[in-house]
Structure 1
Amino acid sequence: MTERITGGCKCGLVRYAGTRLDVPMFRCHCRDCQHLTGSGHSEMMPLVRDSFEISSACKTYEMLGGSGNPTFSGFCPNCGAQLTRRSSLMDDRIYVHASSLDDPRKYNPEKSIYQESAQSWDATSVVGQT
């Protein structure tokens, strides 16, 4: 069964929809996610990139990830909400921030990544490390 996922930003300017990719949802503690979210981690749900549609108003910030390859962060230019993350290394998927889901109950983290970068003040529970 194909699960359709929808979401958007706080102000409603940017909306998205896509199909859930059958790979683990995860909590990321990397420094990029910390900087982009203003918190100790991000909560990410993978979607099939070829199924993904997003409002043209979404802005994208390109940067170099820890691997040295380009990564892309999508956000609302009006309210600043973080919406998407994408890596040139895994071009078949796009990750949406769980907080942007219309129904956040669909998010269930299955693992944590970059746990070695986790901040001591971030009290999130550790889900299976990679």
Structure 2
Amino acid sequence: MADRITGRCKCGQVTYEGTRLDAASFRCHCRDCQQLTGTGHADMLPLSLEGFSVSDACKIFEMEGGSGQPTYSGFCPECGAQILRRSARMSDRVYVHAGSLDDPSAYAPDRSIYDGAAQPWDTGSIIDRS
């Protein structure tokens, strides 16, 4: 799969581009994603880290993931929009938030993860299609 993907934050200060990775896209219900997005889940599309570029304005927040290894969340310091997630555990990829895509129709979740952490008011779970 060699789909070129572009996206941006709400105010346009942070932009990115990369190539779609042949890996599952997903809806994540983990508590980190809930807190970072301010909602019940995050919809994530994988891009190859090789050739990925993001504008210098992107601010990175480092935290410890559930694996105990570092994870990184990228956001716009101006409008606050969440843009990307990375982890040391999956060093070949970067996940971009589906809402930041220039063409959001490029996103179709393959599965839902951390469903056990889903909030009862968030009915965004999907059926695993992988």
Q: Does the TM-score normalized on the shorter chain lie above 0.5?
A: yes
After the TM superposition, which parts of structure 1 deviate over 3 Å for at least 4 consecutive aligned residues? none
TM-score, normalised by the number of residues in structure 2: 0.97
Matched to 1:33, the amino acid is C
What is the alpha-carbon distance in structure 2 between the residues aligned to residue 120 and residue 95 of structure 1?
Answer: 25
How many residues were matched structurally?
A: 130
RMSD: 1.3
1:45-74 Cα distance to aligned partner (Å, 9 max, x none): 000001210000000000001111100000
Classify the secondary structure of the residue corresponding to 1:86: strand
Matched to 2:116, the amino acid is E
- The alpha-carbon deviation at position 128 of structure 1 amounts to 1.1
What is the alpha-carbon distance in structure 1 between the residues aligned to residue 71 and residue 94 of structure 2?
Answer: 11
1:1-37 Cα distance to aligned partner (Å, 9 max, x none): 5100000100000100000000111000000000000
TM-score, normalised by the number of residues in structure 1: 0.97
Instruction: Please say if residues 49 and 94 of structure 1, whose CA atoms lie closer than 8 Å, have aligned partners that are also in contact.
Output: yes
Which residue of 2 is the match for residue 34 of structure 1?
34
Distance 1:54 1:43, change over 3 A: same
What is the alpha-carbon distance in structure 2 between the residues aligned to residue 11 and residue 121 of structure 1?
Answer: 29
* Structure 2 unaligned residues grouped into runs of 5+: none
1:62-100 Cα distance to aligned partner (Å, 9 max, x none): 000111110000000000000000000000000000000
Task: Quote the sequence identity (%).
Answer: 62
Which residue of 1 is the match for residue 124 of structure 2?
124
